[in-house]
Amino acid sequence: MELIDYIESKREDHLNELKEFLRIPSVSTKSEHRPDIERAARWVAEKLRAAGLDNIEIAPTKMHPLVYGESLHAPGKPTILFYGHYDVQPAEPLELWTSPPFEPTERNGNLFGRGTADDKGQVHIHLKALEALRKATGKLPINVKVMIEGEEEVGSVSLWDFVKQNRERLKADALVVSDTSMLAKGVPSITYGLRGLNYYQIEITGPAQDLHSGVFGGAVPNPLTILAEMIAKLHDRNLAVAIPGFYDDVAVPTRAERRALQSLPWKEKEFRKTVGAPALCGEHGYSIVEQLWTRPTLEVNGIWGGYTGEGAKTVIPSKAYAKLSTRLVPDQDPAKIAKLVERHIRKLLPKTVTHKFEVLSTGKPWVAPYSHPIFQKAIHALEAGFGKKAVFIREGGSIPFVTQMHDTFKVPCVLLGFGLPDENAHAPDEHISLENYFGGIKAVALFYESLASL
């Protein structure tokens, strides 16, 4: 099998090139990394060219550029639009990385570094699958459009404008995305549901300036205490979100879906081991898989205020801050939820403080049936690429773009995930399994090849 042999022969080249990609610290959330973002965009454009794509463009946006390329030389054959992102999460806290986040390092069959799993490693799988198809078979068997953005980790702020402005150009028969995880090692997976994400920031101001906690303590509002008291009221005794109306529009999965989810080879023991907490802690009345995939959440992602250095400082600070987010499920509406969250927080805060509430980003949840024949092609390609049985899963993370594309173009969205849930996406020591990286290139190449007969 020419294609697979070719891919096997390039293992070392592929891995070295991925490392090159990973060394660019393209952290989209921090303005100081702007030059790295631009470098990463140019790197992606160059690799699209190497894969034989045409009309390559580094499209400027309000924030970070988007890279586009296409190959439309298979008349009568299906067209797929592949989406990924070249930006990464911040690497902090740096001291918790075993090897430096932007110096990719192999250990125990894994490649460690920021972006290995989310999403540079997975983007690279597609770049190399396309290149392999072209080099091993002379041409691409289908039409492809590739769109790699640089703002995914900051809420894809410009992506939708680009799509709207290029609606005709982006038309395709299916959307393919690799920014999710497999259910577990050895279980290649297609994701048919994602949670939505709203991200908020709150600033609470008590005294006009920091005050001495001896001279003033006991008579003045402490914004840290008030912030804590507000956060404490966001969940009830059953660990459900205590915001009125929050669950009103939550779609309940059918009994058949619940059964299918429960019968997946999902390993609670491994999940507990990955989490490593003394105990789990989720909404009462739901299995863990249901909590993660089918129920909305509210999480505190950051909190700060007052003195946080070494030793003691007896201060009552003027300000306290928190970053919060809600994960949403069908059929919750992000705009409506943002209003409910804001209204409830306003109601909870006492008149002794002022506050500023910001919605940093919103994103819709998504779930879709996997009845279109393209899903069978995908399952077969995964099983051929990995030599293992493949499954359909949902996921707790968010890719707002998938929902938007699905809503707009009404085409199937095929989410082929090559990460693993314990690969520390967004955390120190992020990594990707080399078995999944190499298996992914084969599976994706086989998938694209098989689509010629769709």
Q: Which stretch binds a second copy (CB under 8 A): 14-22, 79-87, 277-285, 335-343?
A: 277-285
Nearest to 186 by CA among 11, 387, 8, 396: 387
65 contacts 58 by C-beta, under 8 angstroms: yes
62 binds a second copy (CB under 8 A): no
186 binds a second copy (CB under 8 A): no
Which of 5, 103, 161, 299: binder of a second copy (CB under 8 A)? 299
425 binds a second copy (CB under 8 A): yes
Range 312-371, binding a second copy (CB under 8 A): 312-317, 320-323, 325, 327, 350-354, 360-361
Q: Please confirm, yes or no, whether 152 is among the known catalytic residues.
A: yes
Nearest to 45 by CA among 27, 63, 78, 21: 21
Nearer to a second copy, 57 or 283 (CB): 283
> Site size for a second copy, by CB under 8 A?
102
111 binds a second copy (CB under 8 A): no
222 binds a second copy (CB under 8 A): yes
98 binds a second copy (CB under 8 A): no
We find the least distance from the C-beta atom of residue 386 to a second copy, in angstroms, to be 21
251 binds a second copy (CB under 8 A): no
Range 75-94, binding a second copy (CB under 8 A): 89-90, 92-93
Q: Which stretch binds a second copy (CB under 8 A): 50-58, 287-295, 375-383, 433-441?
A: 287-295
Please enumerate in sequence order all residues whose Cβ is within 8 A of that of 327, keeping only pairs 6 or more positions apart, or say none: 195, 196, 197, 296, 297, 299, 396, 398
Please enumerate in sequence order all residues whose Cβ is within 8 A of that of 334, keeping only pairs 6 or more positions apart, or say none: 196, 198, 328, 362, 363, 364
151 contacts 67 by C-beta, under 8 angstroms: no
Q: Which stretch binds a second copy (CB under 8 A): 14-22, 200-208, 375-383, 404-412?
A: 200-208
Nearest to 364 by CA among 246, 251, 196: 196
Nearest to 370 by CA among 194, 200, 192, 247: 192
We find the least distance from the C-beta atom of residue 353 to a second copy, in angstroms, to be 6
Which of 281, 369, 373, 410: binder of a second copy (CB under 8 A)? 281
CA–CA distance, 205 with 211 (Å, rounded to integer): 12
Which of 1, 94, 232, 251: binder of a second copy (CB under 8 A)? 232
DSSP secondary structure letter of residue 354: E
Nearest to 198 by CA among 360, 399, 30: 360
344 contacts 336 by C-beta, under 8 angstroms: no
Q: Which stretch binds a second copy (CB under 8 A): 5-13, 72-80, 377-385, 396-404?
A: 396-404
Q: Please confirm, yes or no, whether 358 is among the known catalytic residues.
A: no
108 binds a second copy (CB under 8 A): no
Residue 168 identity: E
We find the least distance from the C-beta atom of residue 45 to a second copy, in angstroms, to be 25
Which of 37, 132, 190, 227: binder of a second copy (CB under 8 A)? 227
Query: Active-site residue numbers?
Result: 87, 152
